[in-house]
Chain A
């Protein structure tokens, strides 16, 4: 490799990286998901994977766009699926969990010190909080494939125990065939 190419690489690659990070930051600020690159993993931290019940989608937390975001990757289409309105610059969304066809995404988020449990519906593109008023610490949520039940860790008894939430019979279930 000639010295000129080495110099160009040293100069150009970091600036390209900075531009990409900047773009990512802008996109994050607009509450958008990143454009679909083909690779699941980035040069940054990609962690906390969760699979949809049908094995088609993987949700995880990535810091590739300069902030911590929940991303959804379609293993069949080999591209990212947008989650409009899920990631906010005001909070950090963590610990995603998926229903059978990834209609519902359960996750932890909170901007007042204590995370709450949220559920995002990809049909309505809206999140709702499930634990507003729940005074105890919540960790590690897991959503049942039909999207109705959630389990999580709670410190309600002064130790870690498992709590179960029933979203009720009125919700639309994420059934095997759509």
Chain B
């Protein structure tokens, strides 16, 4: 992928120098890559808002309101196109904070359905969504998944403050020392 990105990078407009990037010490080679902007909403950036990106190798998941509702999108940086996520975005949910595993199979995200916030795991092979926090009974947000797909972390409101929760892809809490609740 690196070679591909490099090759593509030559085609992309390098804005780095113009914006004053890459002139600072060790960061001398850092530059901005110009990913496509498409008014039709078929690419990474659109006339709508694109927020909360999570990058793992070729996969870039993010949230956009380009279709009029807040949905999760998956962009393939190698082939420079969007990948369909059938069954993920539904009309009655407001989705946010997606994260993807490096094999592209798992996407975790927070969604609010009927006023209740949960952490969901989308399986891209089975096109199925599973609620990982159904029985937790607390407010949850900001999920993420490790690139190897083995650990999921999110915030849970416990005793009046945000705390870190860690579970495996089945939703089972990791065996870790915790404060007494």
Q: Does B136 sit within 8 A of A, measured CB to CB?
A: no
The answer to whether A149 and B55 touch across the interface, beta carbons within 8 angstroms, is yes
The residues in A between 131 and 178 inclusive whose CB is less than 8 angstroms from any CB of B are: 131-135, 139-140, 142-146, 148-153, 157, 159-171
B-binding segment of A13-21, A26-34, A53-61 = A53-61
A50 surroundings in chain B (CB, below 8 A):
144, 153
The answer to whether A58 and B164 touch across the interface, beta carbons within 8 angstroms, is yes
With beta carbons under 8 angstroms apart, the residue of B5, B29, B56 that contacts A170 is: B29
Q: How many residues of A contact B (CB 8 A)?
A: 58
Q: A39-B177, A51-B145, A75-B174 are in contact. Are A153 and B51 (CB under 8 A)?
A: yes
A116 to chain B, nearest CB (A): 10
Q: Does B57 sit within 8 A of A, measured CB to CB?
A: yes
With beta carbons under 8 angstroms apart, the residue of B37, B146, B163 that contacts A54 is: B146
CA–CA, A128 and B176, complex, Å = 33
The answer to whether B33 and A75 touch across the interface, beta carbons within 8 angstroms, is no
Main secondary structure on chain B at its contact with chain A?
mixed
The answer to whether A130 and B27 touch across the interface, beta carbons within 8 angstroms, is yes
The answer to whether A55 and B176 touch across the interface, beta carbons within 8 angstroms, is no
A41 surroundings in chain B (CB, below 8 A):
163-164, 178-179
Q: Which residue of A lies closest to B47 (CB)?
A: A159
Residues of B in contact with A, size category: 35 or more
The residues in A between 42 and 65 inclusive whose CB is less than 8 angstroms from any CB of B are: 42-55, 58, 60
The answer to whether B144 and A78 touch across the interface, beta carbons within 8 angstroms, is no
The answer to whether B45 and A162 touch across the interface, beta carbons within 8 angstroms, is yes
B23 surroundings in chain A (CB, below 8 A):
132-133
Q: Does A103 sit within 8 A of B, measured CB to CB?
A: no
B5 surroundings in chain A (CB, below 8 A):
149, 166
B50 surroundings in chain A (CB, below 8 A):
153, 160-162
The answer to whether B26 and A38 touch across the interface, beta carbons within 8 angstroms, is no
A142 to chain B, nearest CB (A): 5
With beta carbons under 8 angstroms apart, the residue of B49, B51, B56, B148 that contacts A140 is: B51
A160 surroundings in chain B (CB, below 8 A):
49-51
CA–CA, A41 and B179, complex, Å = 7
Q: A41-B164, A162-B44, A169-B6 are in contact. Are A151 and B142 (CB under 8 A)?
A: no
A144 to chain B, nearest CB (A): 5
Q: Which of A44, A139, A149: most chain B Cβ within 10 A?
A: A149
The answer to whether B148 and A53 touch across the interface, beta carbons within 8 angstroms, is yes
Closest 6 CB pairs between A and B? A133-B20, A168-B29, A53-B147, A55-B146, A49-B153, A55-B151
Binding site for B on A (CB under 8 A): 38-55, 58, 60, 75, 78, 100, 128-135, 139-140, 142-146, 148-153, 157, 159-171
